[in-house]
């Protein structure tokens, strides 16, 4: 992973909207192709993943243009597989990126992101389907036990698009890596 991506990840932990302009520049400059996603030196996979994770944390509609630009790439679009076995294991990584973009889009208030998450509910790769269900619960702020079943896609589609909502701290995958007293986005005493 390029060193710059580590820095971008660190900036994203702050949940500061000033980073959105940087995400837009990254989305405009990245050449997202199946080959570039496989190229570890280019780091395209990591750049996309970092932008998506940061935007998901922030939950700001201003991030939608960068996210939509990345998701429009054919290499990151329509990666859902409702059946069968995928012989290319790297395709699953592309699906993980699409799912990450969908989570970010949904947290930024995009119906498109919600619809992609709903599509993944019946993905044949069960970890991806389970992740889609967990994130829909987070986007709608529903406890899993009272949310529609993961197989009930019509019930999920019937729900209105939720408003933009930052990723709740309890759902942030990096919370275990940070000191307990750290709360992203909270001003510190001077």
Nearest C-alpha neighbor of 121 from the set 92, 94, 89, 99: 99
Q: Taking the model in full, what pTM does it have?
A: 0.89
Each residue's pLDDT tens digit, 130-158: 999 999 999 998 888 888 887 888 899 99
Nearest C-alpha neighbor of 94 from the set 78, 114, 111: 78
Handedness of CA 11, 59, 74, 96 (dihedral sign): positive
- Give the tokens for residue 58: 């922030």
Each residue's pLDDT tens digit, 2-24: 889 999 998 888 889 999 999 99
User: Is 57 in contact with 164 (CB distance < 8 Å)?
Assistant: no
Instruction: Sort 134 into a burial class: Cβ within 10 Å, 0-12 / 13-18 / 19+.
Output: middle
């Amino acid at each position: 992973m390029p060193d710059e991506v580590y820095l971008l990840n660190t900036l994203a932990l702050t949940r500061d909207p000033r980073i959105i302009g940087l995400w837009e520049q990254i989305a405009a400059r990245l050449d997202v192709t199946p080959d570039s996603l496989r190229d570890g030196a280019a780091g395209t996979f990591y750049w996309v993943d970092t932008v998506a994770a940061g935007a998901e944390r922030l939950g700001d509609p201003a991030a939608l243009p960068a996210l939509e630009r990345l998701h429009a790439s054919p290499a990151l679009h329509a990666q859902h597989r409702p059946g069968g076995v995928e012989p290319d294991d790297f395709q699953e990584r592309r699906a993980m990126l699409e799912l990450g973009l969908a989570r970010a889009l949904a947290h930024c208030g995009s119906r498109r992101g919600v619809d992609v998450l709903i599509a993944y509910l019946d993905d044949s790769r069960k970890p991806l389907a389970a992740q889609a269900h967990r994130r829909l619960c987070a986007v709608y702020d529903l406890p899993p036990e009272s949310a529609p079943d993961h197989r009930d896609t019509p019930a999920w589609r019937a729900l209105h698009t939720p408003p933009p909502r930052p990723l709740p701290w309890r759902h942030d995958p990096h919370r275990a890596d940070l000191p307990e007293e750290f709360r992203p986005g909270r001003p510190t005493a001077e």
